[in-house]
Structure 1
């Protein structure tokens, strides 16, 4: 006798701030799910909150992944308590993914302001048709935006490393108040997994670190100069966000890279793993979007200006460790801090989730602060720090203060 389907509920409350991270906290791959379960995802909205396209895309991509993986039988949605920018077809994820058609597009929802697409098969020709449709969709679509989108989508095809029966990714585009919000989400091996299979040793080194921080830099190559670069799409996306005054979020595994125009660049860790890579951002439609200029910077990175962000906020939990002790880990962190020092005149080192650091790492940080006397370094001490950690970090606080104000 076949087991009966059991309904499991996921209740997600849409918030105003940090919405995407709050949403994915609920999208865990629960080990208690069974292959005959049906998952019901119910959404509600806090006052004044409005669901964004990255949150919708992440929910749908997660649902597709757990159905295609056989973790659950099906996923259904309750969107009745939130405003979504399209009409949901009132179908379950299984009905959408296993519909009797040969098109690589499993779902295409198009309204005046929103376009949400789920690709079920890896078909380059069909994607070319899709790009043409996007170019002609809205007259206010930024010129050559489809080229940036093409880079992000092609990265899914090249680096997600998904077998054909599980190949699936979701894209979302949403116009709102002279802004274009976009998202590309997959459930592949993620940035780390892709870099671990790279050709050159530098890429494999980066795989152990904050990957997105390196992949948004043009000097980085994972295939060797003669074979082209991995990370072109992320570099160009990052540069366009800066030049346009927009924003960017790169989420992969347990690491998040965020940038907001020329103001803040932030890296942090999250406890809930995103299986794959999700890139989302916002473009201002009333400001310049110069894809060609970004390509020139990729070809000649010497023209990149320094101090491109006012602040780099660096959360030390990004490495998934509460105790920063091993020399290998500490050296990885210092290499990433040097990348942050290239981009900002102010660095915030956030030790919020750290319980211990080695004396070697303490020494590395002292040298870093003294070396970069032109950079303002702020240390955030966790309120729960024990006496030893508080003493070590307070010494760094005093050194940074003295380094920035030598006359005092």
Structure 2
């Protein structure tokens, strides 16, 4: 009778250790679930995911029922092990039982099941949810009492429980998530998603075509010269100004030119009739705002002005889209007239090239918080307009001014960092 009861105690102890492993793995598996994949599976009708999602909606209750079950099982197992040890070794068996049970629980009921649950959370958490859901209903009064005492204790310690959704990602966290997606998202798509997130950081004056590079039509020129200029233009939309670029009076879409030329006596007046009134954009407008403004106004080109109303440049829908999808050319570095690679690893760069273009093209990290062009960056570093060729170092880049004209740095030789 004594041997059979001892065997029964060993069997009960074995089952209790299995139950302890179940509660330990359930806790780790539930907490390790990918919440976004869980939401996807829940919406797809996965029963296990739906049960797990409901349990995770009240994390305090879930943890409460798991810990109540785990502690009850472990304490019960300790009592059974003590009884067995006393029968087998007498009073000395208490120390032996404590040591052996600690090792067994640590290996078989804690470390091993929790490691498996961390590696395969869905395979552990979803089946466990079928047990934890009815168990929570059964033990709800006890769980509610424990949580009530715990919450009041936390409140006394000055810890406030937030009801905000902890699953919400910040912009930086979302950027990290996209960058760490690996093969799940193609590299090109990752760049596009990050480009969308970065639109808020970039303003219109970061991507605009500067005023000195605006290709426009002076309405005061001879009509024949205007037509010749339009026919040789590489742009589909051209600003029309009167005498000075600051006096833009309209935007001409070249597809409307056929209506002008089809008239018996085409003239400037008929040309102006086909122009659309200019659309002005503040230079400090964030790109994500301007993108929506273009859509709202049904525009594709905007005249960028500063706080005084002076024209700074032109921004187009294509410029903003390039911030998302990248340059439309197949190899921008090879096609860019502003950046010419040299045999020694350096680059001859036009002074009017924007810092953002240089950084994107060459994967450099020149500062963009100040001047927008290379000429501006150099003159700011020198704190004067150079009157001769000089060498300087900016942000670990060796620079050699090669040409200066009209108080503007025209060309610069720049070496990559470490050259």
TM-score, structure 1 normalization: 0.22
More strand by share: 1
Q: Which has the higher helix share?
A: 2
Q: What TM-score do you get using the length of structure 2 for normalisation?
A: 0.21
